[in-house]
Structure 1
Amino acid sequence: MNGRIAGLVGGLLGVAASSAAVAGLVRARRGGEDPYAGEPLGELVPSRSSTVAADDGVALAVEEVDPERGGRPELTVVLVHGFALSRRSWHFQRKQLAKLTGPRVRQVLYDHRSHGRSARAIPGSARISQLARDLDAVIRAVAPDGPLVLVGHSLGGMTIMELARIHPELFAERVRGVALLATSAGDVGAHGLPRSALSPRNPVPKGVGRLADWQPGFVELVRTAGDGVTRRLTRRLSFGPGEVSPALVRFMTDMLAVTGVAELTEFLNTLGQHNRYAALAGLKHSSVLVLSGDADRLLPFEHAERIAAELPDAELVRAPGAGHMVLLEQPDLVNACLIGLLQRCADGRIEKEKA
C-alpha cells in the first residue's frame, strides 16, 4: 500500500476494525460472557427507507423511524454518524428514542457519501463542506418543516458545525437542539491523533515503533490478523480501558467492511484542515449537549472542553472510562443525556407557545 492509505482508518476516528483474535482476547477478559451476544446490532427495521439526491447528484441512503407507540412526533431527530461508520452505529440510540413518549420523536438516519449504502463521492467532493450540504439535502427532502434536533458523532458533529456556518437561519428558525458526541471543532492534531496522520502524503511508517504511535488500526493488517501489537493497539484506541463486548467489536468490523479503504482516504485532507470554532456561533439559538469519553485517545476530552468553552450555555458531559465509540460503549449514559436534551427542547416549545 502507498502513503495515501497510511494511517487512515483505525488511527483516524476510532472505528478501527478488529479481528477475531481481538474479539477472543476481549471475550477471555469477560470470562466468556457477552452482554450483547443476542443483540441484533444494526439490524433494526426502519419505518421507511428512501434515497435522497445530494446537490451534485450523489445518492444518499436514508431511513426514517416513527415513534414505536404511535402518536404525532413533537420533534424530528437527525442522527449524523462518524467517519468510516454508517447509520447503523446509532443502534442503541435509535432503539431507545423510538420508545419515547415524552417527547415523541421521529428519527432520520442516513449514510454519508462513500459510507454505508450511499453512493461514492464524486472526485473532489469528499469534504466536510459537502457533507454539510448533504445533510441540508436530507433535511429538505424528509424533514422540510417542524422543529429539529441534530445529533452528530465525530465527523457527524463536524458536519453539523459546518451546516451552522452555511445555514445559520436554519438553526435560528428550526434547530432546537444539537448534540455533539466525541467530536472536535478544530486542531485535530493538537490532542490525540497526530496531524501528520491526516496527510495523504504521509509515508508508511517504518517498523512497529512508529506504527504504534499513530497507526494502530491499519485496516488491511488488522483484517488479516496481522501483528499482535497492531491488534492490541486497535483495541486500545477504539474503546476505553474497561471490558468491551466482543459483539460490539464484530459490529464495528462489519460496518467498516462496507466502505473501502480507497474511498475513505479521500477524506484525509478535509479532516486535517478542519477548523470550525467560528461556526459554533451558529449554535447560539440551540440547546447544546457536548459529550465525550475521558479515555478517548483519538479526540480526547480536551476537544469537548474547548467546544464547551466556546458555548458557555452548553451542557458538558464527561463519560468516565469511555473511548471514542462512547455511543456503543456507554449507551445508557448517552441515551439519558440525549433524552434530557430532547425534553428540554420540547419544553422550550411549550414555553414559547404559552408566552
Structure 2
Amino acid sequence: MTIAIEVDNARLVYAAAGSPYPQAPTLVLVHGFPLSRAMWQAQLEGLSPRCRVVAPDLRGYGESSFGDWPAAGETPSLDRYADDLEALIASLQADGPVVLVGFSMGGYIALNMARRCPDAFDALVLMDTRAAADDDTARATRLKMADHIHEWGAARVAELMRPKLFAMDTPERIVQETVAVISATDPAAIAASQLAMAARPDSTGLLGSIAKPTLVVVGEHDAISPSAEMRGIAAAIPGARFVEVPGVGHMAPVEAPEAVNAALAEFAESL
C-alpha cells in the first residue's frame, strides 16, 4: 500500500505493509543516498508477516516532492529530513514500539533524530552508516558533486558510486537494479543531500548517550562504512547489538535481504 501525507508544503510518499496485530513493532526504513524506498522492497515483503513496515521516500526522492525546500540562499540540512520523519512517525499512531532503521545517509538522519527528537521513536537500527563527520577530502567531494550534478546527470553519479556499493560476488542483476534507481534520482535531490551531509556534525560524541535499544548492522566488505568502524559504533552505544552480514558490501539490505530481515525481525520482536 502506498500512502501520501503533507508535511510543510511537501507531499511525502511511503509504502506500508504488515501490522499483523495491534502491538506489532513498526519498522520505519530510511533509505540511503541517492536512492529511494525501492531499496527496501525485500524488507517490505519479507518482514510484513511479523511487523508493520513503513518505507518513505525522503523529500525530493522517489515520489516525494520538495515543497519549497531548500529556500533561496538556504544551506540544506539533515534537520529537514529529520523533521519530516518525525511528522511521518507521529501520523502513524503506532500502538507498538517504533524502530527507526537508518541505512547509510538514513543513518546520519537517524543520529540527527537521536540528538533532536529522541522521543519520536523507541529503538534504533544503524545500518552501513557512520557517526563521524566528513573529513576535508570527503566534504570537498560532496560539494563538487553538488556543484556539477545538473551538468553530470544522475546516471554519472550511479557509475561513480557503483564500485564502492557492492561486494565483488554480488549478482549483476542486483547491481543493475540499484544503478537504475540512482540514475532515476532527481539531480536537485542529489545536490541538496550532498550539501546537507557535508554540513552534518560529528555524532561520535552522541553515541554514549543513546539510551534506546540499538542494533548496528554492516556488510562484511562494506567499503564506505567499514565493519571495524561500525563495530566501534556498537561498542560506544550502551547495550547495542552488532551484526556483521557475511559476504556483502555496503548495500547489505539488497545484497543479503534474508540475513538482514532475520536480524531486524529478531531485534524488533525482542523489544
TM-score for both structures, normalised by structure 1? 0.67
> In the alignment, is the contact (CA less than 8 A) between 1:80 and 1:153 conserved in 2?
yes
Deviation (angstroms), 1:273? 2.7
| Secondary structure in 1 matching 2:270 | helix
Q: In structure 2, the residue corresponding to 1:194 is in which secondary structure?
A: helix
Distance 1:203 1:149 in 2: 35
Contact residue 80 and residue 152 of structure 1 kept, 8 A: yes
Judge conservation of contact 1:164–1:280 (CA < 8 Å) in 2. no
Q: For residue 225 of structure 2, what is the aligned residue in structure 1?
A: 299
Aligned match for 1:154, one of 104, 107, 110: 104
CA RMSD of aligned residues (A): 2.7
Q: CA deviation at 1:235?
A: 4.3
Residue 236 (structure 1) aligned to one of 163, 168, 178: 163
Contact 1:297 1:324 (C-alpha < 8 Å) held by counterparts: yes
Q: 1:65 aligns with which of 14, 17, 21?
A: 17
Count matched residues: 263
Residues 1:271 and 2:197 aligned together: yes
- Give the 3 Å change call, closer, same or farther, for CA 125–59 of structure 1 in structure 2: farther
Q: Unpaired segments of 5 or more residues in structure 1?
A: 1-45, 205-216, 224-230, 346-355
Q: Which amino acid aligns with 2:4?
A: T
Distance 2:24 2:97 in 1: 8
Q: Secondary structure at the match of 2:49?
A: coil
Cα pair distance change 1:297/1:238, threshold 3 Å: same
Please say if 1:197 is aligned against 2:141.
Answer: yes
Q: What do the CA deviations read for 1:188-223 (whole angstroms, capped 9, x no partner)?
A: 448xx833312248988xxxxxxxxxxxx9844477
Please tell me whether the aligned partners of residues 155 and 184 of structure 2 are also in contact (alpha carbons under 8 angstroms): no
| C-alpha spacing 1:222/1:283, structure 2 compared with 1 (3 Å) | closer
Work out the percentage of aligned pairs sharing the same amino acid: 29
Structure 2 contact 207–236 (Cα < 8 Å) conserved: yes
Deviation at 1:164, TM superposition (A): 1.5
Instruction: Please tell me whether residue 289 in structure 1 is matched to residue 193 in structure 2.
Output: no
Provide Cα deviations, 1:44-71, integer angstroms capped at 9, x if missing partner: xx2xx322222x321111222124xx44
Q: 1:114 to 1:312 in 2, by over 3 A?
A: same
1:28-107 aligned at under 5 Å gives the runs 46=1, 49-54=2-7, 56-67=8-19, 70-100=20-50, 105-107=51-53
Question: Does the 8 Å contact 2:147/2:191 carry over to 1?
Answer: no
Deviations 1:111-149 (A, max 9, x none): 101111000261237421111101001011123554211
Deviation at 1:238, TM superposition (A): 1.7
**In the alignment, is the contact (CA less than 8 A) between 2:102 and 2:127 conserved in 1?**
yes
Deviation sequence 1:290-336 (CA, Å, 0-9, x none):
01123222222243133213214111122233211111112122111
Query: What amino acid maps onto 2:42 in structure 1?
Result: F
- Check 1:219–1:59 CA distance in 2 against 1; reply closer, same or farther (3 A cut): closer
* Letter paired with 2:140: S
C-alpha distance in 2, partners of 1:60/1:201? 25
| Counterpart pick for 1:165 among 95, 106, 115 | 115
More contact order relative to length (CA 8 Å, sep ≥ 6): 1
Closer/same/farther in 2, CA of residues 340 and 295 from structure 1, 3 Å limit: same
Change in Cα spacing, 1:88 to 1:203, as seen in structure 2 (3 Å) is closer
C-alpha separation between the residues in 2 aligned to 1:314 and 1:308? 5
Q: Per-residue displacement from partner, 1:84-114 (whole Å, max 9, x unpaired)?
A: 11111111111111122xxxx2122211011
CA distance in 2 between counterparts of 1:280 and 1:203 reads 32
Please name the residue that 1:248 is paired with: 174
Query: Is residue 77–residue 199 contact of structure 2 (8 Å, CA) maintained in 1?
Result: no
- Counterpart Cα distance in 2 of 1:222 and 1:83: 11
Change over 3 Å in CA distance of 1:234–1:267 after alignment to 2: closer
Is 1:261 equivalent to 2:187 in the alignment?
yes
| DSSP-derived class of the 1:280 partner | helix
CA separation in 1, counterparts of 2:33 and 2:95?
28
Q: What SS class does the counterpart of residue 332 from structure 1 fall into?
A: helix
- CA distance, structure 2, for counterparts of residue 250 and residue 329 of structure 1: 12
Q: If the length of structure 2 is used for normalisation, what is the TM-score?
A: 0.85
Kindly tell me: are residues 281 and 118 of structure 1, through their superposed partners in 2, closer, same or farther at Cα, counting changes over 3 Å? farther
- Compared CA separation, residues 325 and 201, structure 1 to 2 (3 A): closer
